[in-house]
Amino acid sequence: MADRLLIIEDEDTLCESLKRVFSRDYEVDAAGSAEEALDILAENNYSLIISDIILPGMNGIELLKIVRERTPDQLFIIMTAYASLETAVEALRSGAYDYVMKPIIHEEIKQIVKNALNQKALKAENILLRKQLEKEYDFSRIIGESPAIKKIIGEVKKFADARSNVLLLGETGTGKELLARAIHFNSKRADKPFIPINCSAIPENLLESEFFGHVKGAFTGAVSFKKGLFEEANGGTVFLDEIGNLSMGLQSKLLRVLEDYHIRPVGGTQSVKVDLRFICATNKNLEAAVKEGVFREDLYYRVNVITIKLPPLRERKEDIEPLVKYLIQKYSGDLGKPAMEMENETLQLLAEYHWPGNIRELQNIIERAILIADDGVIGAEQLPDNVKTKMSFTDQVLDDRLSIEDYTKTFIQKYQHDFTEQQLADMLGITRKSLWEKRKRWGINRA
């Protein structure tokens, strides 16, 4: 549907001229006075109103105030032949999007109208996206019937609105980021940014700049000012995934932010105050890291105000069936496939599997099964070989008495085609660089 414009101008020649200009792209109505415009507005809605200031009877500023009082988000552009600083300030303070000086230049006013409508469309799109995100990350989307999951949701609801920092513990793939998003979108910060940062995915030498931003010339390659992600998230939530991988130097700088909530760009001299909530996550044992001297004790206590431990999937087997039903519905829709069912024997195989990759591994398996299933039924033949075997990988490792090195090598060979490099590294508790070095040493080709 085309946008509708209302032009309010008592000079007939100019009014007709503007109608011709805008009628090519929009539906256009016109009025010769503010009073006539109010009658029209009582029966019609308009994307944007363009009004002269000097009108017979009520003037354009008075009309603007009445319209904005009735419809606070109404776009309004003022035209004037007697522009002054006072006129402009009054128009903008009263809620005008912009003002245009007479004589009217058609290309100028067309561009102003285009910009205004684009901004309105973007705002509406952002509101819709925000509502979709809030729905997507509602607590009801955290699937599970196990006592452990119900307990976690109950606890999270109690502190979701607080500013207190949260530490999420759990193996890779247990849903830490999903829970972090649910906390954010069910808090008072829901209309502000949620900025996720994977501390192990960004090179160490770039992390500080990503966190704090940098000024021009701060280092080689800093050709302009860059705002950091912490400042981008102002008023909202920062999710620091794999915080256990931060270097001691960055831990120290993060600690200062958590103490006074001021950030300073790399190479800068001025600090900026920010309002942030931090949700951190790790699959490492931070208490052990503190004892080993690789994680600051004072930082640990700062991020560990509220702790939630997400159980691995193998400890919440009763959640596998509802998760499978949800994922089948989700991926069937995403992949344009008809609704599918899973055979009971296949579901039993999933229940008996050890799930080293947790929910992320289950997602991959269900998506793959839906892609290759032909008759609307997911059977055992659509599952990977390692899932169909009765003995889990962990049981096999214990049975074969593998060393840590042999375990790591076997794990990489077994799961390298089921997960990304980052996911494999996270599961093994090593960096991607270490994973690459191990591949090279053992001659394991990714392809």
Which pLDDT tens digit goes with each residue over 23-67? 989 999 999 999 999 999 999 999 999 999 989 999 999 999 999
Task: Specify whether 46 is located in the same domain as 92.
Answer: yes
Task: Specify whether 124 is located in the same domain as 148.
Answer: no
Task: Specify whether 199 is located in the same domain as 291.
Answer: yes
Task: Specify whether 121 is located in the same domain as 141.
Answer: no
Task: Specify whether 253 is located in the same domain as 329.
Answer: no
Average pLDDT for residues 76-81, to the nearest whole number?
A: 89
Task: Specify whether 24 is located in the same domain as 79.
Answer: yes
85 pLDDT more than 70 = no
Nearest to 144 by CA among 344, 317, 330: 317
Instruction: Show the domain range for 321.
Output: 314-442
Task: Determine contact, residues 303/278, Cβ cutoff 8 Å.
Answer: yes
Round the average pLDDT of the chain to a whole number and report it.
87
Length of the chain: 447
Average pLDDT for residues 419-430, to the nearest whole number?
A: 78
Give tens-digit pLDDT for 319-344.
999 999 999 999 998 888 888 899 99
pLDDT score for 386 = 79
Task: Specify whether 293 is located in the same domain as 347.
Answer: no
393 pLDDT more than 60 = no
The region that residue 355 occupies, defined by phi over 0 for left and psi between -120 and 50 for alpha, beta otherwise, is left
pLDDT score for 439 = 87
Compute the C-alpha angle 186/189/191, nearest 5°.
Answer: 95
Q: Among residues 91, 112, 129, which one ends one of the domains?
A: 129
pLDDT score for 180 = 94
Task: Specify whether 250 is located in the same domain as 270.
Answer: yes
pLDDT score for 170 = 93
Give tens-digit pLDDT for 131-145.
665 556 667 778 888
Question: Tokens 């990503």 identify what position?
Answer: 210
112: its two tokens: 């102003």
Task: Specify whether 230 is located in the same domain as 209.
Answer: yes
Task: Specify whether 337 is located in the same domain as 438.
Answer: yes
Asked, for residue 406, whether it belongs to a domain, the answer is yes
pLDDT > 70 in the chain, percent: 93
pLDDT score for 179 = 93
Spatial separation of the C-alpha atoms in residues 242 and 156, rounded to whole Å: 20
215 pLDDT more than 90 = no
Task: Determine contact, residues 204/246, Cβ cutoff 8 Å.
Answer: no
Spatial separation of the C-alpha atoms in residues 171 and 355, rounded to whole Å: 11
Structurally, how many domains does the chain consist of?
Answer: 3
pLDDT > 90 in the chain, percent: 52
**CATH number of the domain enclosing 209:** 3.40.50.300
Task: Specify whether 360 is located in the same domain as 341.
Answer: yes
| Sequence-distant (≥ 6) Cβ neighbours of residue 246 within 8 angstroms | 199, 207, 254
Confidence of residue 397 (pLDDT cuts 50, 70, 90): low
299 pLDDT more than 90 = yes
Asked, for residue 241, whether it belongs to a domain, the answer is yes
| Candidate from 8-22, 77-91, 229-243, 391-405 with smallest mean pLDDT | 391-405
Asked, for residue 248, whether it belongs to a domain, the answer is yes
| Candidate from 87-96, 189-198, 230-239 with smallest mean pLDDT | 87-96
Confidence of residue 281 (pLDDT cuts 50, 70, 90): very high
| Sequence-distant (≥ 6) Cβ neighbours of residue 51 within 8 angstroms | 7, 8, 9, 34, 37, 60, 63, 64, 76, 77, 78, 79
pLDDT score for 256 = 94
Q: Among residues 88, 110, 129, which one ends one of the domains?
A: 129
Q: Among residues 107, 129, 151, which one ends one of the domains?
A: 129
Task: Specify whether 291 is located in the same domain as 336.
Answer: no
Burial per residue of 261-292, b for 16 or more beta-carbon CB atoms within 10 angstroms, e otherwise? eebbbbbbeeebebebbbbbbbbbebeebbee
Asked, for residue 167, whether it belongs to a domain, the answer is yes
Confidence of residue 365 (pLDDT cuts 50, 70, 90): very high
Asked, for residue 447, whether it belongs to a domain, the answer is no
